[in-house]
Chain A
Amino acid sequence: MKETSLLSFQPVILWTDGLIYFLLVCLVCFAFYAVRREHLSAPWRQVRRRPLVMSALIVLIFYIAVGLTDSIHFRRQLPATEENQEVQYSPEVLSLLDVLVDSLKNNNERSYSAPLAAYAYTKEMITGDDGSQRRDYPRLAFGGAHLKNPETERRADLLGIVFRGGMAGLVLAGLAASFFLFALARHHRKGFWEMGGLIWRGECDTAWKAIVFTLGVFIVLNGMLIPLSAKYHLFGTDKVGQDVFYLTLKGIRTGLVIGTLTTLVMLPFAIFLGISAGYFRGWIDDLIQYLYTTLSSVPGVLLIAASVLILQVYMEKHADAFSSVTERADIRLLFLCIILGVTGWIGLCRLLRGETLKLRELEYVQAATALGVGHRAILFRHILPNVMHIVLISVVLDFSGLVLAEAVLSYVGVGVDPAMISWGNMINSARLELAREPVVWWSLCAAFLLMFGLVLSANVFSDGIRDAFDPRLRGR
């Protein structure tokens, strides 16, 4: 018998995964580029000083980390049934996140259960040990399964887990903070307590206090939630018994993909068309203006709806092209991003056109023209770098709106694939759950909480970026 280890797997790179990696590489390159350019790094220094913005950044990084672990996909090798059989892989595409939270993914109940419950939410016929039948709430298969008598023990058990986890988190956070402080003190060649005082009074060039505080809260929260979610269903279970906490975590990637890839799709259009319209003027300007006036006069939701309907028809016709449900859902997500991008480039394009119209009259552009520099060189060397701050501001400002739009579009029925886990789909199904008696409120609340966290931190962060990069607001 040939041995098969569970570790052998076949990597799967979905379209959106590839684009996310690409985006990540772009970001890193941009960071390297910006560090050495004074006009790009000066606003960042201003951003680093603002405590609220730095807290928001930490929260965003957490979301991005979850989204990235959820973007590494692979298929597990199936255990070989006969000898000499060629290696086969499971049709199910897993992500790294699925493996990390394996227990959340697989500990399914039969149907609804409330958050942290030990009993199911609806009564069922239960056959007792002595064969007698009664109608009662059955015990859950996983939630609180370690308890002998949940009615008396559950409260104490929950408090115990929260207290122990919180304490462990506090200790860990304290250790991490002191280590961090130590490293920072060494770096700045200052004493440990002296550095601590500086940070506490906010006299550093970075808002370390906010960063350390946010990370500390984060570690303590994790200390409480991780043991809780291992023994209970933190946010309850949904209709088919899936853990809602797992679903909301999976929803993070969908939200992030919509928020980021849409911009990635939109940027080339907006930058190229906006700058050329402003720079060349004349008939090119007229043509581009006509193009975006026409597109923007179609109501956005309807254009998206029409495009998605057509995409649906196309995908039904070419159903054989997609080997798995995940791939199909992924392609649909990518197309949704493209459609949102095609309908969303107009605002930025207009801004860039206006800015370029102003820039092209400035002395340094005039000088370059007089020296005989070609159009392409002027556009790339003189115009593009000077409109990048507008691009950056509009990218971060658009992000939160796109995450919110995903929910609305999924509700309208033109959003992501129904098979894909997304906050929009969760909210959509929550409508029926709220109409039940007794009310099933937890999936809605869970989706609400995580979505609110992401959008709020994105909003705060983008406000910080805008204040720092927008020269009109500088010094106000």
Chain B
Amino acid sequence: MLNYIIRRVAYAIPILIGVNLLTFLLFFVVNTPDDMARLHLGMKRVTPEAIEKWKADHGYNIPIAFNATADGMEKFTKTIFYEKSLRLFLFDFGRADDGRNIASDIRQRMGPSLAIAIPGLMVGLLVNITVAMLIAFFRASYIDTYGVVLAVAMMSISSLFYIIGGQFIFSKTLRLVPISGYDTGFDAIKFLILPVAVGLISGMGSGMRWYRTIFLEEIGKDYVRTARAKGLSELAVLFSHVLRNALVPILTGVVVVIPLLFMGSLITESFFSIPGLGSYTIDAINSQDFGIVRAMVFLGSVLYIVGLILTDISYTWVDPRVRL
């Protein structure tokens, strides 16, 4: 087990190096620091001195990959590649354009992101699996047919509409919950109800259908027929046999996203003004702060890889046949 985990982590290293090189290429080679400076200072009528000053202020006034003027090891360390890209491996994200420390901002904003993402995932899983189970119980009946029709219709609505509609109906018209905002401690609950509910509804169409397919696939298998032949009730078959075996494909989808929950949801957080990592990223994109975007790209990749490893480990937990 431990060996396996070590091997998987070792596999992750080349991938992280690849991600790092990719971000480096995107942010510093395709798009040089001079371009960045010009973008921030305005495109026209900008003096070379102003560009140099901007670069010096933000630490971009060094060569990209090789510094010929420095000596010794500094030839390589006094470069943008080392200072801005390799430092990401140490989770040292440097400073944002407004001078704030990105790493401490990220730590601070993780809490609100998780406060909305974890309940969202839990409620979503519970409701989707229950509904899909019900539909599978009534399979090949009108409930099944109309359930699928409803799911397809719900899938065809953009998540933006669910958010805008939810805010309009429950906050603006009925005034049940505040439109947006966030608070610390338990006061946050009233701000979280609506985003979680909207997230549940907007994900229900695809979730319901996906789990229904998984359940139906399992129901068609031989062991289910055996269980029924033993005289087990349909409910017992569904819950103790089908659900347990369907856990493998369900886990594949779910465990991968768990680490990514830290990243928050761009859309939900920005609509509901929740000061999490999602809105942090959106603000960075809108103010074209490349430092933050770079940090988030790297963090997202690390979390995704962690998710993949966790998925493999979780297989052993639900499926005794899988031995690592």
Chain A 427-468 interface 0/1 with B at a Cβ cutoff of 8 Å (1 = within)? 100110010000100001000100110011001100100000
Q: Is the CB of A298 within 8 A of B300?
A: yes
- Beyond A297-B305, A306-B23, A306-B293, whether A459 also contacts B31 by CB under 8 A is no
Tell me, yes or no, whether A78 is within 8 Å of chain B by CB: no
The reply to whether A408 and B22 contact each other, CB–CB distance below 8 Å, is no
Interface centre among B285, B286, B293, B296 (most CB of A within 10 A): B285
Interface of A is mostly: helix
Is B260 on the interface with A (CB-CB < 8 A)? yes
B297 within 8 A of partner (CB): yes
* B152: chain A residues within 8 A (beta carbon): 456, 459-460, 463
B258-295: CB near A (< 8 Å → 1, else 0) gives: 00100100110010000000000110011010100110
Chain B residues, Cβ within 8 Å of A427? 158, 160-161, 164
**Is A152 close to B, CB under 8 A?**
no
Query: CA separation between A411 and B294, bound complex, in Å?
Result: 21
Q: How distant is the Cα of A451 from the Cα of B156 in the complex, in angstroms?
A: 8
Contacts of B35 in A (CB 8 A): 313-314, 317
- Write out the residue numbers on chain A whose beta carbons fall within 8 Å of the beta carbon of B23: 298, 306
| Inter-chain contact A456/B156, CB cutoff 8 Å | yes
* Residues of chain B within 8 A of A413, CB atoms compared: 282, 285-286
Q: Is A310 an interface residue (CB 8 A)?
A: yes
Q: Say yes or no: B26 contacts A459, CB within 8 Å.
A: no
Cα A302 to Cα B292 in complex, Å, equals 11
Residues of A within 8 A of B267 (CB): 408, 411-412
A316 within 8 A of B: yes
Nearest-Cβ distance from residue A90 to partner chain B, whole angstroms = 27
Q: Which B residues are CB-close (under 8 A) to A408?
A: 158-160, 267
List B contacts of A317 (CB < 8 A).
Answer: 35, 38, 43
**B281 — which chain A residues lie within 8 A by C-beta?**
302, 305
Contact partner of A314 among B19, B31, B161, B300, CB < 8 A? Answer: B31
CB-CB under 8 A from B245, the residues of chain A are: none
Partner pick for A294 among B19, B156, B159, CB 8 A cutoff: B19
The answer to whether B9 has its CB under 8 Å from any CB of chain A is: no
A175 neighbours in B (Cβ, 8 Å)? none
Give chain A residues whose Cβ lies under 8 Å from the Cβ of B14.
290
Residue on A with the closest CB to B304? A297
* Alpha-carbon separation in the docked complex, A448 to B164 (Å): 11
Task: Select B39's contact among A293, A303, A316, beta carbons within 8 Å.
Answer: A316
Contacts of B164 in A (CB 8 A): 427, 430-431, 434, 444
A309 at the interface (CB under 8 A from B): yes
Chain B positions within 8 Å of A452 at CB level: 156-157
Q: Which residues between 29 and 57 of chain B lie within 8 Å of chain A, taking CB atoms?
A: 30-31, 35-36, 38-39, 43
Give the distance to chain B from A405, nearest Cβ to Cβ, in Å.
9
**Residue A64, interface by CB 8 Å:** no
Question: What B residues does A305 contact at CB under 8 A?
Answer: 281, 285, 293
Task: Report chain A residues within 8 Å CB of B260.
Answer: 299
Q: In the assembled complex, how far is the CB of residue A220 from the closest CB belonging to chain B, in whole angstroms?
A: 23
- B168 and A310 within 8 A (CB): no
Task: List the B side residues contacting A316 at CB < 8 Å.
Answer: 38-39, 43
CB within 8 Å for A414 and B285 given contacts A309-B290, A314-B31, A434-B168: yes
Cross-chain pair count, CB within 8 angstroms: 125
A313-B36, A452-B156, A459-B156 are known contacts. Are A299 and B43 too (CB-CB below 8 A)? no
Contacts of B301 in A (CB 8 A): 297-299
Contact with B along A289-322 (1 / 0, CB 8 A): 0100111111101110111011011101101000
Instruction: Give A307-357 interface residues, CB cut-off 8 Å to B.
Output: 307, 309-310, 312-314, 316-317, 319
* Contact residue among B43, B153, B161, B282 (Cβ-Cβ distance under 8 Å from A448): B161
A303→B297 contact, CB < 8 A: yes
Q: Is the CB of A412 within 8 A of B282?
A: yes
The one of A302, A312, A314, A459 that contacts B297, using a Cβ cutoff of 8 Å: A302
Q: How far is the CA of A311 from the CA of B164 in the complex (A)?
A: 29
- The answer to the question of B18 belonging to the interface, with a C-beta cut-off of 8 Å to chain A, is yes
Flag if B285 contacts A310 (CB, 8 Å): no
A142 to B161, CA, bound (A): 30
Asked if B155 is at the interface (CB within 8 A of a chain A CB), the reply is yes
- The reply to whether B158 and A412 contact each other, CB–CB distance below 8 Å, is no
In angstroms, Cα B167 to Cα A459, docked, is 27
The answer to the question of B143 belonging to the interface, with a C-beta cut-off of 8 Å to chain A, is no
Is B189 an interface residue when CB atoms closer than 8 A count as contact? no
* B315 at interface, CB cutoff 8 A: no
Chain B residues with CB under 8 Å of A434's CB are 164, 167-168, 172
Query: With an 8 A cutoff between CB atoms, is B182 at the interface?
Result: no
Complex Cα spacing A444 to B157, Å: 12
Chain A nearest Cβ from B300, distance in angstroms? 4
CB of B324 closer than 8 Å to a CB of A: no
Taken residue by residue from 228 to 260, chain B's Cβ proximity to chain A (1 for < 8 Å, 0 otherwise) reads as 000000000000000000000000000000001
Q: Which of A400-420 contact B (CB under 8 A)?
A: 400, 404, 407-408, 411-414
On chain B, the residues within 8 Å of A296 by CB distance are 304
Smallest CB–CB gap between B17 and chain A, Å? Answer: 9
A451 CA to B158 CA in the complex, in Å?
8
User: A319 with B43: in contact, given A294-B22, A448-B161, A459-B155 (CB under 8 Å)?
Assistant: yes
Cβ distance B106 to chain A, nearest Cβ, rounded Å: 14
Determine if B27 is an interface residue (Cβ-Cβ < 8 Å).
yes
B15 within 8 A of A: yes
A306 CA to B156 CA, complexed, in Å: 27
For the complex, what is the distance from the CA of A268 to the CA of B267, rounded to whole Å?
31
CA distance A57 to B211 in the complex (A): 27
The closest CB in chain B to the CB of A435 belongs to: B172
- In the complex, what residues of B have CB within 8 A of residue A301's CB? 266
| Chain B residues within an 8 Å CB radius of A298 | 19, 22-23, 297, 300-301, 304
Given A299-B263, A306-B23, A434-B168; A290-B160 close (CB under 8 Å): no
Complex Cα gap A57–B282 (Å)? 37
Cβ-defined contact, B158 with A407, below 8 A: yes
Sample (30) of A-B pairs whose CB atoms are under 8 Å apart: A290-B14, A293-B15, A294-B22, A297-B301, A297-B304, A297-B305, A298-B301, A299-B260, A302-B296, A303-B297, A306-B26, A306-B27, A306-B293, A309-B288, A310-B27, A312-B288, A316-B39, A317-B38, A412-B267, A412-B270, A412-B282, A413-B285, A427-B158, A434-B167, A434-B168, A444-B161, A455-B156, A455-B157, A456-B152, A459-B155
A interface residues (Cβ-Cβ under 8 A, vs B): 290, 293-299, 301-303, 305-307, 309-310, 312-314, 316-317, 319, 400, 404, 407-408, 411-414, 427, 430-431, 434, 439, 444, 448, 451-452, 455-456, 459-460, 463
Sorted nearest first, the 7 A-B pairs with minimum C-beta distance are A294-B18, A299-B300, A456-B156, A455-B156, A297-B301, A310-B31, A297-B304
- Contacts beyond the supplied A295-B22, A413-B286, A455-B158: 16 A-B pairs with Cβ under 8 Å: A290-B14, A297-B15, A297-B300, A297-B308, A298-B304, A301-B266, A303-B297, A305-B281, A310-B27, A310-B30, A312-B288, A314-B35, A316-B43, A448-B161, A452-B156, A463-B152
